[in-house]
Every structure is written in structure tokens, then in C-alpha cells.
Chains A and B, each alone.
Chain A
Amino acid sequence: MLVKGIKSRPVYATLAARPGRAHLFVAGGEGAAAILDLAAIAPRSMWADARIVHVPGASAGQEFGRQLAGLGVRSYDERPTITAALPLLRDWLDGARMGTQLYLAGTEVLIGRAMQVALDAGVDHSAIQAEHRGSLARRVQCVHCKGITEDVRTQPVRCASCGLMLLVRDHYSRRYGAFMGVNIDAEDPGDVPPIEEPFA
């Protein structure tokens, strides 16, 4: 059902060290491992100017926190949810200068929501690196009611706001940090294909 080759579909890479005056990391769950992989090859000097906030989630038992804090970073914090982590990122960016590098690692939901905060603060999207780790779950914006449905794993999905069955598309908005959802049975109400789980 997904149309391939949509240009706005984000393509994620592997985090790489870049020159900069400050290095800000937002990681969710197994995204912590992406930072540790970077630490294995990055110049040690970058960590003194680095701040990390981690949302451990289901990875809480894996002791990522001890390893991340052990990198010698300027600050390491943990937050229980993405929503609780974003104000910290907002604080860091308030007063930040050009040359600040932002590194995001985790689910697309975490990447998208942190990127929204950063763009709003004036960070150029090309100064933001993102590495996808963990679940493929999506944030979806219903094009009909504009409501956001979080943690979407199925195709189609029922809009959490207006109840329409939505076809989740690959069209992505950096501004909303969400994929587009379009009513799948508008012409033949009730004619809904079987629900699959492509975004587990």
C-alpha cells in the first residue's frame, strides 16, 4: 500500500562526528547504542562539549546510562518520556550559537519531535544528524482533522482524533514531525483492506 520513492521520506544515516562548538545528543531506547558506536571512533575531545539526554524506555535494563555518562560528557540526563526530554533540549538551544551540532538517535518519533524543537530554535536541518534505531512506529497527522496519532504501527490505522481509517503515506513533514494519513475508504465507506503491521 505504501507508495515508494516519496522524496520527503526521511533517509537516516549513521551518526558521524562533525566539527563544532557544542554537541547535543537526544537518544531514545536503543538509540543510546548509536552514540556509543560513535564514541568508539570519534575524537575524544568532542565529549567535553557534549550534552546527552536519554529516554531509556524499554532499554532501561541495558545499562546504557552508565556507559553514556562514562564518556566524560558535560552533562548526562535521563527522562521517562520524549515529551519530558524535549524541554531540556529547548533549554540547551536557548542562547546556543552557530556551530552547534545536534545528534538524534532512536525511533522516528523521537527524531521527528526533537527535530521540530530544533528547527523552531533556528537550527538548520543540515546541522542535525539522525540515526534510526528501534521501532518503526510513526507519528501520523490526519489530513482531514489535523489530529496527530502517536505510535502508529499498523496500516491502515484509525485516527485517534476523528476516527477515520487512514492510509499512512511516506509523505513526511519536518515541520510537523509526522507522516501524512489519508482516509482509505472515503469513496466506499467500510471498504477497508485488512490491517497489517508494517511499522512494528
Chain B
Amino acid sequence: MSSAAPKILVTTTEVTDVTPMIKRFRFAAADGGPLPSFSGGAHVIVEMHDGSVLRRNPYSLMSPPSQTSSYTISVRRDDAGRGGSRFLHREVGPGSTLTISRPVNLFPIDWRARKHLLIAGGIGITPFLAQMTQLLAAATPFELHYAVRSREQGAYVDELEELYGDRVSVYCGDRGTRVPVDDLVADQPLGTHLSVCGPTGMMEWVLSTARAAGWPEHALHHERFLAPASGKPYVVTLALSKLSVPVSEQQSMLEAIEAAGVPAPYMCRGGACGECETTVLACDGTMLHNDVFLSAEERASGTKIMPCVSRFEGRSLVLQR
């Protein structure tokens, strides 16, 4: 979805405290019409006018994909983050209007799988909530293993156990129980696919355990949105626009380019999808590649950067933009 793609004006119809840290927001189209249908795993970008700053953060849609009267997202307040989740928790209530993107799915269900092994950590549960309604409807076997800090801090623990029964296993950090990843990946029937969503360390642990047990790459799926890292301020030069744009400590390069009025493509804004890939014409310094899209070879070539999450330190960086 580029910056010119259609957007949807929505009204917040309901805000629910799910846990002390997590709120659920329900959005309906401001014109009262149906929202676009989507598929489990899809996300939307929520635009937030936070003072003079325009924030655009991706959130997974958790409502049933067949439901087009409203969307729901769950947002965990990140007090150490850049401010998007704090803004939603603080400023958005029933009646608030927001602009969201149309849904985009970078984490779709692979329907070729004969069984789905879903592993979620914390707020990483949200894409699976939408996926599981689809898997249930399709009578496709699945099991969910869900790690939370405690039952109190875990979102939707009771609801999931009630809805899905013994297809759901919950592991509580405060009770010292962990997802038994070794045992799980060792005993799955042929044709099983594994999907994981959660903190980066957990996803790396799950994926590396499965790879070491001989799982093929095609059977492994993960969704990793990265928040843009903060860092030292710098200046990026846009050769086609003939502009030099300052990037502040808390700003991403993409946000700075947009703030300068230069249209730039994007989709996930989390370093995952590749849509914002930009050609580097000159670099006197070090590119800090924070994305999970570019290959090691592409990084080493020094000719590509993903401005949604990556930064720069040095004398000058010139982009073909």
C-alpha cells in the first residue's frame, strides 16, 4: 500500500480494557458502510495525529475476517516505545475518528498445510485470533500454544480456552511453564506448518528449534513487525526531489521523508514486506539496517535501504527518491 493508496475513515465505536496493559479498539466505517473483507493474519496501518507528529503504526486485525461491519485491534501499551500505543491508549475513545489503511496480509494461512501448529507470545496472539476463526470454519486441524507472563496479563486466555478447549495450551511465565518447543516440533504429522508471532527472541528460538529438527523452510511462517529504532539524528539527501531532510532521534527515515512532503511507498512500516525498498546512490558512513527483508548480500552491496526501520550514521547518505 503506497501513500497514495485508498484509506478508510473510521469511527471508534468501543474501547475495552482487556488487561491492565492491553486495550481493544473497535472501528466502524465513518460512512456507516461495510469495511473491506480480509483474511486471517492481515493488518491495517492506523494513522495518528499526535501533536505535530503523524504516526502510522501497523496492528493485526483480530476480528473474524468475515465480519465487515467493524474491525477490532488489540494494542499493548509500550511505555518505552515511540508513542503510538500510548497515544491510542490516552487519546482514542468512543467517537474518535481515525484514518486506517485497507487491510494487507503479510502473514496469511498457508492452506496447503494439513495441520497448523500456532505459537504465540504475548500480544502476538492477535493475528491468530482471526486465523483461528477461519481454521475452525474450514475444519482444518490446528493447535495453539500461547505464552503469557501471567494469566492476569494474558489477553483472551479465558475466551480462547472456552472457545477452543483442548486445542489451546497456555503457558504462564510466573508459574515457570514454557512452550515445550522441542517436544512440539519433534512430534507433528507430515504436512504440518508452524506459525509463530511474538517477541523477536521467542520467534528466533522457535524457528531455530524447528530448523534444527529438520523442518523445511516452506513449513515455517512468522510475523515480525519491528518498531523503528531511535538513534542519532542525521540528514538524508533525496536526489530526485533535490531535498536534504533531517531525521530526528525518534523519527524514522520514512517518516522524515513523508514530513518533507515527498511521497514514498510503504506497506508494513515494520521492516518486513519490502515495499519501501529504496536505492542508495551514495553512502559515506554506515547504514544501520534494522529490517528483516534485505538479504545479507543486498546489505553488503550498500545499494538498498528500507527507510521504514533503518537508520544511518556518518557524513552523507543520498537516496534515489
Contact = CB atoms under 8 A, between A and B. Distances in A.
A99 B213 contact: yes
Best-surrounded residue of B187, B211, B214 (most CB of chain A within 10 A)? B214
A100 B189 CA distance: 10
A122 B190 contact: yes
Given A97-B186, A100-B190, A126 B216 contact: yes
A126 to B, nearest CB: 4
A20 interface: yes
A93 B189 CA distance: 10
Interface string A91-129: 001001111110000000000000000000111111100
A32 B122 CA distance: 50
A18 interface: yes
Contacts of A20: 213-214
A182 B188 CA distance: 42
A19 interface: yes
A74 interface: no
Contact of A21 (B114, B211, B213, B219): B213
A119 B215 CA distance: 15
Interface in A69-108: 93, 96-101
A20 B190 CA distance: 13
B189 A127 contact: no
A82 to B, nearest CB: 21
Contacts of B216: 124, 126-127
Nearest to B218: A126
Nearest to A121: B190
Nearest to A96: B190
A98 B215 contact: yes
Number of chain A interface residues as a range: 10 to 19
B217 interface: yes
A121 B190 CA distance: 7
A99 B215 contact: yes
A100 B185 CA distance: 11
Interface string B166-193: 0000000000000000000111111110
Given A122-B190, A122-B191, A123-B190, A99 B214 contact: yes
Given A124-B218, A126-B217, A98 B190 contact: yes
Contacts of B192: 98
B137 interface: no
Interface string A121-162: 111111100000000000000000000000000000000000
B80 interface: no
A98 B114 contact: no
A98 B212 contact: no
B214 to A, nearest CB: 3
Nearest to B112: A124
Given A121-B190, A123-B190, A98 B219 contact: yes
A93 B214 contact: no
Given A21-B186, A122-B190, A123-B190, A100 B217 contact: no
A69 B191 CA distance: 30
Nearest to A95: B189
Nearest to B190: A122
A21 B187 CA distance: 10
Interface string B190-226: 1110000000000000000001111111110000000
Contacts of A18: 214
Given A122-B114, A124-B219, A101 B190 contact: no
22 contacts: A19-B212, A19-B213, A19-B214, A20-B214, A93-B190, A97-B186, A97-B188, A97-B190, A98-B185, A98-B190, A98-B213, A98-B215, A99-B186, A99-B214, A99-B215, A121-B190, A122-B191, A123-B190, A124-B216, A124-B218, A126-B217, A127-B219
Given A96-B190, A97-B189, A126-B219, 6 more contacts: A97-B188, A98-B192, A99-B215, A100-B214, A122-B191, A124-B216
Closest 5 A/B residue pairs (Cβ): A122-B191, A20-B214, A122-B190, A99-B214, A126-B216
